[in-house]
Structure 1
Amino acid sequence: MAELKEIVSTLDAELDIKSFGKDSSFSRFIPRVYEPLKFDWQTAFEKDFVELFNGLMLKGNSTVGKVFLAVFPTDKVLERFIEESNSGDLLFMHHPLLMECGDPKGKWGQGFVPIKEKYIKQMKEKNLSVYTCHIPLDCHKQLGTNIAMAKKLNAQILVDDTLNAKNEYVLYCNIEKTNTANLISVLENIFEIPYVDFEGKKLEDIQRIAIVAGCGDVVDWMKEAEENGVQAYITGEIHCHIDNDYGKQKYNQIMEYASNTSMSLIGVSHSASEYLVHKTLMKDLFEKNFNVETVLIPQEKWWL
């Protein structure tokens, strides 16, 4: 068992959430999805979370026996957490909203979806806690989503000053020489996915890669990677498969770029790319620092 306040204090400090200020994504999307429903999210969620959109979102009992780890709050993830937890247990997630990203071989998604009010009520009634951390986890130099992917690929992270790297969401690495087909097979095994999303060229000599967990469907990031000699751009999402005008515009932008790129563009699903850090680095952090049991909750379908 561990004290909730001790866990929260450690996470807040380690992830340095206050230095990031308001989360640039969820400070927009949480009001956007809840306010049309007339749901008083500002009262339902913890005061600091309402300010930062990272950190302790729901506060339960003071003692934590189990920490559950997941990426998105899908209905099935929340149902499993509520069913298997005891009063005071904690759910640690990357996102406070579900994002239906779409399936490259199936249905397109509807984008951000709120947690159903009934699940919020059930978690409060059972005195459960929820902590989410988005951009501070993406950017962390030891516990980051990209770092977990690099470690699993046995990649050498590049810190070469000659790299023209303009943002902290793209991680440049060298790997043992491989080809596109073998790299795809390795990624499908690591992320336990039935298939990848692929565009671009199939190459026989891949040594330099770029890693972008989550949404990597940004043409400027891809161009930067290509200029830095990257042969394979590995991310959660190559394409935006959100079924609205924004998603279709983003999809067309990538298709135009992909028709001329020299790289292999490989998507392993948004949720699977970010789940890896939960099942490795974050799981280790909780088990080494606190006297708690950890429970992994993989998403029921990675391409959702």
Structure 2
Amino acid sequence: MTEKEPIFEKQPLNELVDSLDKYFGVKELDKDPAMSRFIPMVYDPLGYDWKSVFEPDFCERFNGLMLKGAEQTGKAWCIVFPSNEVLTKILKSAQEGDMIFSHHPVNMECGDPRGAMGKGFLPIDLELLQEMRTRKLSFYAVHAPLDSNTEVSTNDALVRLMDGEVIKQFDPYGLGFAGRVCRIPRTTTSVLAEKLRIAVGLPYVDLAGIKERDIELVGVIAGGGGSAEDLKTAEEQGVDAVVTGEVSAKIIGSRGDKERAMLVEYLPTTKVSAIGLSHAGSEFVVMRDQVVPFLKDRHHLDATSVPENNWWR
């Protein structure tokens, strides 16, 4: 007997948003600790009146519904960053009322360990932003709550990718914790790095610290990383390796210069293997493996994840 094709239905936007807000605890967090800084940082210099464009509650919390589209939602497009490449892909196929479900409400370039440096946080392209509004697409972003959630989570998605079992959380952040310690089947740095490279869809991983060692306990910090402070915090948990987005600082400017200097001082002293999967790539796993099934199964909403052509950017 063949399985029946799932039946997807259009969902009232207000009911969908209310359900997502409750599940991720959006209303429980006064404001996102990171995005409350970065949204003004990227839009204010442009003179863009983002407070009159984005939904009022979003302008206070920096999570939840950012752009309100049509009243009925037919499909969700799940992404990590609203980059020009990804938004252009979506806009070729999206229909009125579709929702873009994003981890970040701003774009970011973190750089390529074998290529160009990144520019850091960037605004959504204003022409693409206007097109989303004109076509009545909704944009829903959930940043810190998606990192700290213990079911649908950027970190727990990586733990599952390694067949791991969470034994501890660390690094308080938002409504919970930004890091996980997990126990995985005993392996080595090179084997784990290759397994993750294939699973995420990377041309290569970025390795720092100890290049090869036995690994059983792993500290997981999906996303940014790229800082000595993050790596130190994970190492203090007694882990053998750290799996994160960035293990080298590749952003242009004073922020990148500071992080590079701290890493130069820290990395020769570390006893862990640090495996970088790119900021965007490490957080795409939750979209592909957890958010899409979550929206389909719980909300009966058609959903798809939209990858970047190259995660190292």
1:114 counterpart residue number: 123
Q: Deviations over 1:77-111 (max 9, x none)?
A: 11122221111000000011111111111110111
Structure 2 counterpart of 1:158: 167
User: For 1:2-151, what aligned pairs fall within 5 Å after superposition?
Assistant: 2-151=11-160
TM-superposed CA distance for 1:166, in Å, is 4.8
Q: Say which SS state the counterpart of residue 259 (structure 1) adopts.
A: helix
Task: Quote the sequence identity (%).
Answer: 37
Structure 1 residue 216: deviation in Å?
Answer: 1.9
CA distance in 1, matches of 2:99, 2:26: 18
Partner residue of 1:212 out of 221, 239, 246: 221
- Determine the C-alpha separation between the residues in 2 that align with 1:225 and 1:65: 41
Counterparts of 2:166 and 2:241 in 1: how far apart (Å)?
A: 14
Compared with structure 1, are the counterparts of its residues 157 and 245 closer, same or farther at alpha carbon in structure 2 (3 Å cutoff)?
same
How far apart are residue 2 of structure 1 and its match? 1.2
Q: Which deviations, in whole Å up to 9, do the C-alpha atoms of 1:138-166 show, x marking residues without a partner?
A: 0001111001100111101113xxx9x45
- Listed as ranges, the matches of 1:257-268 within 5 Å are 257-268=266-277
- Where 1:282 maps in the other structure, the secondary structure is helix
Aligned position for 2:205: 196
CA spacing shift, 1:228–1:39, aligned 2, 3 Å:
closer
Return 5+ residue gaps in structure 1 as ranges.
Answer: none
Match of 2:261 in 1: 252
Query: Cα distance, 1:21 vs. partner?
Result: 1.2
1:178-222 per-residue CA deviation (whole Å, 9 max, x = no partner) reads 111111110101111011111111333211110000112343343
Question: How many pairs are equivalent?
Answer: 300
Deviations 1:240-279 (A, max 9, x none): 2111011021022112211121110110000011111011
8 Å CA contact 1:170–1:221 kept in 2: the answer is no
Instruction: Give the conservation status (yes or no) of the 8 Å contact 1:65–1:293.
Output: yes
Sort the Cα spacing of 1:9 and 1:269 in 2 relative to 1 into closer, same or farther, 3 A. Answer: same
2:293 corresponds, among 272, 284, 287, to 284
Q: State the distance in 1 between where 2:20 and 2:60 align.
A: 17
Deviation at 1:113, TM superposition (A): 0.8
4+ residue segments displaced more than 3 Å: none
In 2, the alpha carbon distance for the partners of 1:22 and 1:66 equals 27
Larger deviation, residues 216-225 vs 61-70: 216-225
SS at match of 1:294: strand
- Partner letter of residue 20 of structure 2? L
Query: Matched residues in 1 for 2:134 and 2:230: separation?
Result: 44
Letter of the 2:34 counterpart: S
Q: Distance in 2 between matches of 1:196 and 1:188?
A: 6
**Selected match of 1:222 from 224, 231, 236:** 231
TM-superposition CA deviations, 1:266-304 (whole Å, max 9, x none)? 100000111110111111110012232112210122001
Q: Which residue type is aligned with residue 17 of structure 2? A: V
Gap regions ≥5 residues in structure 2: 1-9
Change in 2 beyond 3 A, CA 1:166/1:41: closer
Moved more, 290-299 or 230-239: 290-299
Bigger drift between 20-29 and 101-110 goes to 20-29
211-220 or 2-11: which moved more? 211-220
Residue 188 of structure 2 is aligned to residue 179 of structure 1: yes
Q: Is the 8 A contact 2:180 2:221 kept in 1?
A: yes
One-letter amino acid of the structure 2 residue matched with residue 83 of structure 1 = K
Say whether the 8 Å CA contact 2:68–2:136 is kept in structure 1. Answer: yes
Look up the SS of the partner of 1:236 in the other structure: strand
CA distance in 2: counterparts of 1:118 and 1:110, whole angstroms: 20
